[in-house]
Each structure stands twice: as structure tokens, then as C-alpha cells.
Amino acid sequence: MRALAAVALLVFAGFGVAAGAPATGTAVDEEQVREIGSQLRCVVCQSMSVADSPSETAHQMREIIRERLAAGDTPEQVKAYFVDKYGLWILLAPPRQGFNLLVWVVPFAGLGIGLVLVAVLMRRWSRQARASAPPAGPVDSAMHERIKREMSEPDR
């Protein structure tokens, strides 16, 4: 009975009703379908997600996502289903565990190391600057006034 209802919903969702809201399944949040679809790799394209791809395969996969969400699966369960059938590569970004944690960590680690390096360099170069700067002598007030005056005049 539940399956029939789901199918009926899909039929009505698929055939947009005239002069109404954009087609949405009443039991299924289209945003969620897009969200899940954007994390799955379209298997017949190269880097596009299931949400974006105009191919027939991606269309069918989106239908499957809708069907499963309507049947009560959580987004995690829907993704797990696809991983079961296709393997980890169907996910557009590897899960953050085990060896795959590397891909998530290394870029940030690299940036962090870079920041540290730049900070170290800046420090070293500041010290070198201070070491070689000529000692600042006292500027007498008349000179100071004259400098101020000339600086505020407009350039010709």
C-alpha cells in the first residue's frame, strides 16, 4: 500500500500540475534530492554530480533517490545504498575516515605550514631590517615644522 502511494506521489510529482508551484513531491523535499544528488557522481559523466547531469542515467538515479526518501530512508541510507552497489567512487568526495582523511587534512595542513613559514620569514626579515636600519637622529622642531608645511602643499 505504501509503495502504491509512493508511486502515485511520484506520478503526480513528475507531471507538473499547471499554474501551480514548481513540481515537488509532497512527501519528498526536492532540495534534499538535489543535496544528495550533488554528493553522488554521475556514472556516465566524468566529474558531474547526479544532481547536475542532464544524462538519462542521472535522471533515473534521481528518481531512485526520490523513491527511497519517500519510502522513509534517511539521506545517509540513500547514499549507503549507492555505495553498496557502485563502491566508494560513487561519492563525489571520499568519506572522512581512514586513509581518505588525508585528502581532507593535507590541504589545510599545507596552508597551516605555509602560514607558519611565512610568519617565520617575516620575523627573520624584520630582525634583519631592524639590525641594518640607521639610527634615527633627533629632528629639531623647526625642521619638523618645515617638513609638515611642505608635505601638505599640493603637487604641481
How far CA 23 is from CA of 2, 8, 12, 28, 104, in Å, comes to 21, 14, 9, 11, 36
For helices 56-70 and 30-37, the axis angle rounded to 10 degrees is: 130
| Beta bridge partners of residue 40, listed in sequence order | 91
How far CA 109 is from CA of 7, 19, 105, 116, in Å, comes to 48, 52, 6, 11
Query: Shortest gap between Cβ of 74 and another protein (angstroms)?
Result: 18
Query: Shortest gap between Cβ of 141 and another protein (angstroms)?
Result: 20
Query: Shortest gap between Cβ of 110 and another protein (angstroms)?
Result: 5
Scan for cell 587534512, then name that residue: 105
Query: Shortest gap between Cβ of 153 and another protein (angstroms)?
Result: 10
Instruction: Look at the alpha carbons of 101, 107, 110, 111 in this order and tell me if their dihedral is positive or negative.
Output: negative
Pick the binder of another protein from 106, 120, 143, 147 (CB under 8 A).
Answer: 106
33-92 binders of another protein (CB under 8 A):
38-39, 41, 43-49, 52-57, 59-64, 82-92
Residues near another protein, by CB under 8 A: 14-16, 18-23, 30, 38-39, 41, 43-49, 52-57, 59-64, 82-94, 99-100, 102-104, 106-108, 110-111, 114-115, 118, 121-122, 125-126, 128-129, 132, 154-156
